[in-house]
A = this chain, B = another copy of it.
Amino acid sequence: MSLLDQKTEAVVRLESVSKSYGDLLALDRVSLTVRQGEFVCLLGASGCGKSTLLSLVAGLDGITGGTLDIGGRKVSLMFQEAALFPWLSVRGNVELPLRLQGVSRPERRKRAEELLDIVRLRDFGDKRPHELSGGMRQRVALARALAQDADILLMDEPFGALDAMTRDILHDELERIWREQDLTVLFVTHNVREAVRLGDRVILLSSRPGRVIEDYPIAHERPRRIDSPEVSGQAAEITDRLRAEVARHAH
């Protein structure tokens, strides 16, 4: 990994970061630098430590070793499970980060409507989380994460429960927002095409304990299409590498 060319500022810097839960080593000396405005996708086997990595960057858990630096930037994390608050309506959930930022009520309302529009849930603002389908909940969580207006957006399989079409729409929306707000995104997914469709770089983690084993720069022109031959081609290449890695552990 030779990404030390400092053309833009490093926003997230991990150096030999390790994390163990009791005796279980989840991440092993992970080094990773994400620069301002970069869209980095993380790929890896189930249980390899992707969610753990995001929670470390978000400051939710303490690292066991190494150094981690995000320069005190505001971080927003979209969890793997939707984790909506059942006592709030859908709109209430989306408005909550705005409320905490002290945004005025009408402004809040407006922003929430916009965000719900983006995730295609305009008509569900007054519903409660339990009245939504799995994919709808995930979209509300996405809207909530976007409402946070953070510098760094961490996303843990945000589109895992969505059909291809809705996913496509949200890919476009996410790309637009990322562009417009100059966000730095760390994006976990199991869908390799999705990673290639969205990312500037795709990072491959090894199986537990997670270690960075590949770092693919994705150079195709944007806008990209998920079913374009370039995306498919590079996705196939990465998939092969991933399979090889997972297979090594499948005894």
**Residue numbers in B under 8 Å from A157 (CB-CB):** 134, 161
> A1-9, A11-19, A164-172, A212-220: which lies at the B interface?
A164-172
With A81-B134, A164-B239 in contact, do A139 and B250 touch (Cβ < 8 Å)? no
Give the docked Cα–Cα distance between A21 and B50 (Å): 37
Expressed in whole angstroms, the minimum distance between the Cβ of A151 and any Cβ of chain B is: 25
**Residue numbers in B under 8 Å from A50 (CB-CB):** 133
Expressed in whole angstroms, the minimum distance between the Cβ of A158 and any Cβ of chain B is: 12
Selected from B161, B164, B165, the residue in CB contact (under 8 A) with A80 is: B161
Give the docked Cα–Cα distance between A240 and B82 (Å): 29
Q: Which of A8-61 contact B (CB under 8 A)?
A: 21, 24, 43-47, 49-52
User: Nearest B residue to A47 by beta-carbon distance?
Assistant: B133
Does A169 contact B134, Cβ atoms closer than 8 Å? Answer: no
Q: How large is the interface on A (under 10, 10 to 19, 20 to 34, 35 or more residues)?
A: 35 or more
With A46-B166, A166-B246 in contact, do A161 and B136 touch (Cβ < 8 Å)? no
User: Nearest B residue to A159 by beta-carbon distance?
Assistant: B190
Does A161 contact B135, Cβ atoms closer than 8 Å? Answer: no
Does B192 contact A133, Cβ atoms closer than 8 Å? Answer: no
For the complex, is A109 an interface residue (Cβ under 8 Å from B)? no
Give the docked Cα–Cα distance between A156 and B49 (Å): 25
User: Nearest B residue to A156 by beta-carbon distance?
Assistant: B134
Give the docked Cα–Cα distance between A161 and B168 (Å): 18
**Residue numbers in B under 8 Å from A165 (CB-CB):** 45, 242-243, 246-247, 250
For the complex, is A131 an interface residue (Cβ under 8 Å from B)? yes
User: Nearest B residue to A120 by beta-carbon distance?
Assistant: B250
User: Nearest B residue to A250 by beta-carbon distance?
Assistant: B169
**Residue numbers in B under 8 Å from A161 (CB-CB):** 46, 80, 157, 160, 190
User: Nearest B residue to A43 by beta-carbon distance?
Assistant: B163
A-B contact pairs, 27 of them (CB 8 A): A45-B163, A45-B166, A46-B136, A46-B162, A46-B163, A47-B132, A47-B133, A49-B133, A50-B133, A80-B134, A81-B134, A120-B250, A135-B190, A157-B161, A160-B160, A160-B161, A162-B190, A163-B190, A163-B242, A163-B246, A164-B192, A164-B243, A165-B242, A165-B243, A165-B246, A165-B247, A169-B250
Q: Top 3 closest A-B pairs, CB basis? A: A46-B135, A165-B246, A80-B134
